[in-house]
Amino acid sequence: MDLFVINRHDESAAPVNEQQNLEKILKRIEKNKELRAIRKAKKKIIIANVKQERERKRKIKRRLEVQEAKQSITHDLNIDKALHDPTFDENDVDISSPKKKEKVDESADTGFTILGGEKFNKNIKKIKKVSEKNGVKYLFPVQAEVIPWLLQAHKRSNIVFPRDICVSAPTGSGKTIAFTLPVVQALMHHKIKKIRALIILPTQDLALQVFRTFKKYTQDTSLDVCIITGKNSFENEQRQLLYRDEAFGFVSKVDILICTAGRLVDHLKSTEGLDLTSLEFLVIDEADRVLDGVQHDWLYHLEKHINSEDSTLQSTRILNLLALKKHKPPQKLLFSATLSQDPEKLQKLSLFQPKLFTSIVETENPQENATNADSFIGKYTTPQELTEKYIICSIDLKPLVLYEFIRLNKLTKTMVFTHSVENTHRLAILLKSLFKDNMKIEEISSNLDVKSRNKLIEDFSAGKIDILVCTDALARGIDLPVVQCVISYSAPKHLKTYIHRAGRTARAGELGLAVTLLHKSQVNKFQSLLQQADKINMEEIKISEENLETLGEQYKQALNDLKKTVVNEQHQDLVKLKSVKRHTVKKKFK
Ligand SMILES: Nc1ncnc2c1ncn2[C@@H]1O[C@H](COP(=O)(O)OP(=O)(O)OP(=O)(O)O)[C@@H](O)[C@H]1O
């Protein structure tokens, strides 16, 4: 403005000091020059910042695009978040840096990790603190591989959908903790109670076992674990799951839900307010068995439940991104010692970019090893601490051979597997008669209710029972401390059955023995079965027939006892049946 005034200088006005004016003008010009320079410098900085920011965004976008191409899915929300979050580091979406990639997922390209590595990282140290209390000092190989991977994947789940995983590791190798720890650690900071993890098991007994593990590992957290298997009444289970609040409607009481497939479907159909749309983890333990199970439609009902909520939200057309953020599909985690090799079965689960963790058997033939790596699931393996043997005997002497083998080796803490409930019962009676009071022998089968089964399992674990005769209902997953020996009294028909039976011993690094009783005609079939798991040259145990001859009288007596007991039981059953019939007829005519 001053300059303007000077330009309008009036000659008739008071005398002006020309020199002073000129100096003033020069000073102002100088000052303006400085201001312009400062402004220019500032502009330069701003332009540089904008360029840098543009470059950062371009890099993030590029990385996500590459990742998307690799993983075939990356949702817009992530790009949006990455671009608008100033704290977001482009390296968080690292897929090109081989160093970082190795840390996150060593085998992202193949989706294939062979278990047994000794990699511990900072995540494991964190977990160690939680679990040392529970007797876990070191992580087993399957845990050392799976736990950090899952925690990393969960940490990044807001940026990229985590891949689903399939874990195929030997019996007793610690698979339960491999999913319990990361689920607990990932969920423990949630403030709002919602069902975020669903663990599905094939049987009530296994569900109870996993429930107990989760209870142990959540005791110092605010997480609530619930079990629904049908052991309790339906109404009781409903009360444990949720309550109705006047202001908020249905409110969950549970963070982690353990269930059997059948009971889950019952609740999905009939429990009003049950909400599984916030699931972050869907764990399927003994996955091959769950997928084989009679309750085929659990997955259909679960997906219907989740998707129906999804579609209502999307139909509001608020913002698709919001819907995506809220209804991210749960990460599926499949575990088993004998994970299905049938792609059709796995296909039912529509796994997302499944990553496999397995303990493959190395064969002599490198070509075969390569095929294994490509063919998704490796061969079934048993623990290294397991010794496997077989005995050949005639069918009529089988109970006596079993008796003699147990007696000679002074076996206790032994499980004997038969192929049917009836067989289990008869064998238990025979063994009780043969051993008299020298051994405590009990039987477990589906004839007993859950409470009696649990009591027997507890007694066996406490060493109060020496020999437990059982059906294959107890072959899978049950974790009984220090089983010294597993005897397959009836030869297993399938490799899977053999692996799971034998897997009740040699658990968690302990030594164990698995013995199979075979008739001559069964030997070839048994050997070719085991060849599928690269088990060749299994040692035979010989039981001298001469020794058995001296037991003739004892055996005769035992067979008599068996006959008497069976006749007695049949009579009692008949009396019971008649009484029930009489009762029903009376009721009808009342
Ligand atoms: N890191 C560890 N340190 C010590 N004990 C462990 C560890 N991990 C697991 N265990 C113990 O090992 C035993 C076997 O574990 P778990 O039942 O999880 O095996 P699994 O792999 O699920 O076997 P299966 O295939 O038969 O179901 C359990 O008693 C468990 O407490």
What one-character-per-residue DSSP string does 511-534 give? Answer: -EEEEEEE-GGGHHHHHHHHHTTT
Summarize pLDDT for 441-489 with one digit per residue, the tens. 999 988 888 889 999 999 999 999 999 999 999 999 999 988 999 999 9
The residues, any chain, with a CB within 8 Å of residue 171's CB and separated by 6 or more, are 337, 382, 383, 499, 500, 502, 503, 504, 506, 507
pLDDT at residue 130, as a whole number: 56
CA 359 vs CA 20, 374, 378: distances in Å = 93, 14, 7
CA-proximal residue: ligand 1, atom 14 (nearest): 172
Nearest to 64 by CA among 34, 106, 96: 96
3-state class (DSSP) for residue 361: coil
pLDDT at residue 341, as a whole number: 65
Which residues of the chain are modeled with pLDDT < 50?
1-14, 68-110, 117-124, 310-325, 361-376
The residues, any chain, with a CB within 8 Å of residue 567's CB and separated by 6 or more, are none
Atom of ligand 1 nearest to the CA of 509: 12
The residues, any chain, with a CB within 8 Å of residue 224's CB and separated by 6 or more, are 193, 218, 253, 254, 255, 256
How far apart CA 367 and CA 518 sit, in angstroms, is 34
CA-proximal residue: ligand 1, atom 4 (nearest): 136
DSSP conformational letter for 71: H
301 burial type by CB count under 10 A (0-12 exposed, 13-18 middle, 19+ buried)? middle
268 burial type by CB count under 10 A (0-12 exposed, 13-18 middle, 19+ buried)? middle
Nearest to 175 by CA among 166, 186, 185, 187: 166
Distance 344 CA to ligand 1 centre (A): 29
Atom of ligand 1 nearest to the CA of 479: 17
CB distance 337 to 380 below 8 Å: yes
Distance 173 CA to ligand 1 centre (A): 5
CA dihedral 412, 415, 417, 421 (to 10 degrees): 100
pLDDT at residue 534, as a whole number: 84
CB distance 193 to 221 below 8 Å: no
Q: Which residues line ligand 1 (CB under 6 A)?
A: 135-136, 138-140, 143, 169, 171-177, 337, 477, 479, 503, 507-508
End-to-end CA distance of the chain: 115
Distance 210 CA to ligand 1 centre (A): 11
How far apart CA 233 and CA 235 sit, in angstroms, is 6
How far apart CA 478 and CA 455 sit, in angstroms, is 14
pLDDT at residue 415, as a whole number: 98
CB distance 186 to 281 below 8 Å: yes
pLDDT at residue 517, as a whole number: 98
Atom of ligand 1 nearest to the CA of 138: 1
3-state class (DSSP) for residue 500: helix
CB distance 452 to 443 below 8 Å: no
How far apart CA 414 and CA 292 sit, in angstroms, is 29
pLDDT at residue 536, as a whole number: 86
b/e for 346-369, b at 16 or more Cβ within 10 A?
A: beebeebbbbbbbbbbeeeeeeee
Nearest to 418 by CA among 514, 347, 487: 487
Atom of ligand 1 nearest to the CA of 336: 25
How far apart CA 245 and CA 236 sit, in angstroms, is 18
Both structure tokens of 68? 């998307």
Parallel/antiparallel/unpaired status of strands 165-168 and 331-336? parallel
How far apart CA 470 and CA 458 sit, in angstroms, is 15
CB distance 286 to 210 below 8 Å: no
CA 393 vs CA 401, 493, 517: distances in Å = 7, 18, 7
Both structure tokens of 251? 């409110």
Residue 539's DSSP bridge partners are 389
Evaluated on CA atoms 293, 295, 296, 301, the torsion sign reads negative
What angle (nearest 5°) sits at the alpha carbon of residue 479, between those of residues 477 and 481? 160
Record the pTM.
Answer: 0.74
pLDDT at residue 105, as a whole number: 39
CB distance 169 to 278 below 8 Å: no
The radius of gyration computed from the CA coordinates of the chain, to the nearest angstrom, equals 35
Distance 171 CA to ligand 1 centre (A): 8
CA 474 vs CA 52, 213, 418, 454: distances in Å = 63, 18, 11, 11
How far apart CA 134 and CA 117 sit, in angstroms, is 23
- Pocket test of ligand 1: the residue of 118, 147, 177 to mutate, having most ligand atoms within 8 Å of its CB, is 177
pLDDT at residue 177, as a whole number: 96
pLDDT at residue 103, as a whole number: 37
Summarize pLDDT for 226-264 with one digit per residue, the tens. 999 998 899 999 999 999 988 889 999 999 999 999 999
CB distance 217 to 180 below 8 Å: yes
- Give the DSSP letter string of 234-294: HHHHHHHHEEEETTTEEEE--SEEEEEHHHHHHHHHH-TT---TT--EEEEETHHHHHHSS
Atom of ligand 1 nearest to the CA of 213: 31
Length in residues, the chain: 590
CB distance 142 to 116 below 8 Å: no
Distance 366 CA to ligand 1 centre (A): 31
How far apart CA 248 and CA 402 sit, in angstroms, is 63
Amino acid letter for position 266: D
CA-proximal residue: ligand 1, atom 10 (nearest): 174
Nearest to 174 by CA among 137, 130, 215: 137
CA-proximal residue: ligand 1, atom 22 (nearest): 175
CA-proximal residue: ligand 1, atom 20 (nearest): 172
